[in-house]
Amino acid sequence: MKALILSGGKGTRLRPLTYTGAKQLVPVANKPILWYGIEGIVAAGITDIGIIISPETGEEVKAKTGDGEQFGAKITYILQEQPAGLAHAVKVAQEFLADSPFIMYLGDNLIEGNLSLFLDRFKNQQTDALILLREVANPTAFGVAEVDVNGRVLRLVEKPKVPPSNLALVGIYFFNSVIHDAIANIQPSTRGELEITDAIQCLINQQKKVEACQLEGWWLDTGKKDDLLEANRIILDTTCLTQSVLGEVDQKSQVIGRVQIGAGTKLVNCTIRGPVIIGNDCYLENCFVGPYSSIGNNVQLIDVEMDHSVILQSAKVVGIHQRIVDSVIGQRAQLIVAPQRPKALRFMIGDDSQIELT
């Protein structure tokens, strides 16, 4: 059994952050989104992993993620020259996949639950394809499945105007090698892409065994800012369970609840109320950091109040006297604010930005 993780694409919904980096490397609770998928796959017992990368961000993905040793896996990187669809990614990876069954995992997805449960069903029932589904409120925005009472998939439709159900395809699929023949027999969609939904529909039309499992826990596609913040909230709630202070906290500071503070970080006259994670080698002075905030390594915060926000590594935020909420501030961004600002500020700031409000 192999795994194929898709970490290409242009990340247009997360711009400006993704003008300068891969969306799958944007951190949630100070860990790249991509790594959660790798860890989940390895936990299910799959260690031979191919990662689809793009020309624009592939080198960054390789540099940060490495050869897989840190995860207990072997990673092979596969270049997809153009983002020509999910099925096209499988086609590009066919040499790596060979005749092996495999899991395909979209690298910007996060799910609750153990992949082993779905993998066992895929193996034990000897299905040709197993898809994961989740009930959603807005099925017109997703690929949607129509299934019978036994879980057998009858029809798939990509972003339908009139959805046959409210069951959206989660970005995790299990395939046998027959999927390669199906992909070879489909044509590009009106979007000019080879759609994986068309390939699965081809299997259905050929009377292959295509089944579905409904995901009961949460599922997040972190392609937008609000989804990223929600993922950060959920991961902090489920992983930041104790207080751990490795840095230096002065006597005027308070650290309350589930807070993790990295080595080399210094707090001066600050209040931190968890769940919060603060990385290594940060400096915070005269700050309040409220729940569901993640602060990357080497961040400097002075005279700042914030909650429910993500600050990426090496950012600098100084002199903000109104609370920052629901914000994502990119790597190395600088936000410097003069006195007498408006009552509320909201930001999504890309890497290497510098903003001065005067």
> pLDDT tens digit string along 27-68?
999 999 999 999 999 999 999 999 999 998 899 999 999 999
> pLDDT tens digit string along 323-352?
999 988 988 888 887 665 556 667 666 666
User: For residue 16, is the peptide bond before it cis, meaning its omega torsion is within 30 degrees of 0?
Assistant: yes
Kindly report the pTM of this predicted structure: 0.88
pLDDT of the residue at 157: 85
Helix, strand or coil, per DSSP, at residue 214: strand
pLDDT of the residue at 10: 52
Nearest-10 crossing angle of helices 33-43, 58-65: 60
Phi/psi for 145 (5° steps) reads -115, 145
Fold (topology level) of 2-236: Spore Coat Polysaccharide Biosynthesis Protein SpsA; Chain A (3.90.550)
> pLDDT tens digit string along 292-328?
999 999 999 999 999 999 999 999 999 888 899 998 8
The b/e string for 133-166 (b: 16+ C-beta within 10 A; e otherwise) is bbebeebeebbbbebeeebebebbbbebeebebe
pLDDT of the residue at 287: 97
* Residue 335 CA: distances (Å) to CA of 30, 289, 338, 356: 20, 16, 10, 6
Question: Mean pLDDT over all residues of the chain?
Answer: 89
Whether residue 8 is predicted with pLDDT greater than 60 in this model: the reply is yes
Rg (alpha carbons) of the chain, rounded to whole number? 22
CATH of 241-357, picked from 2.60.40.10, 3.90.1150.10, 2.160.10.10, 2.130.10.10, is: 2.160.10.10
Question: Dihedral through CA 20, CA 25, CA 26, CA 32, nearest 10?
Answer: -160
- Place 167 in a pLDDT band, splitting at 50, 70 and 90: very high
Q: 265 with 344: CB under 8 angstroms?
A: no
If one counts every other C-beta atom within 10 angstroms of the C-beta of residue 207, the result is: 8
Question: How crowded is the C-beta side of 16, counted as CA atoms within 13 Å?
Answer: 13
Whether residue 90 is predicted with pLDDT greater than 50 in this model: the reply is yes
Q: 97 with 3: CB under 8 angstroms?
A: no
Residue 69 is given by DSSP the state G
Contacts of 92 (CB under 8 A, 6+ apart): 52, 78, 79, 80
Where in the chain are the domains?
Answer: 2-236, 241-357
If one counts every other C-beta atom within 10 angstroms of the C-beta of residue 218, the result is: 14
Q: 28 with 231: CB under 8 angstroms?
A: yes
- Place 191 in a pLDDT band, splitting at 50, 70 and 90: confident
Whether residue 74 is predicted with pLDDT greater than 70 in this model: the reply is yes
> What mean pLDDT is predicted for residues 195-215?
92
* Residue 261 CA: distances (Å) to CA of 70, 99, 211, 274, 310: 22, 46, 45, 11, 15
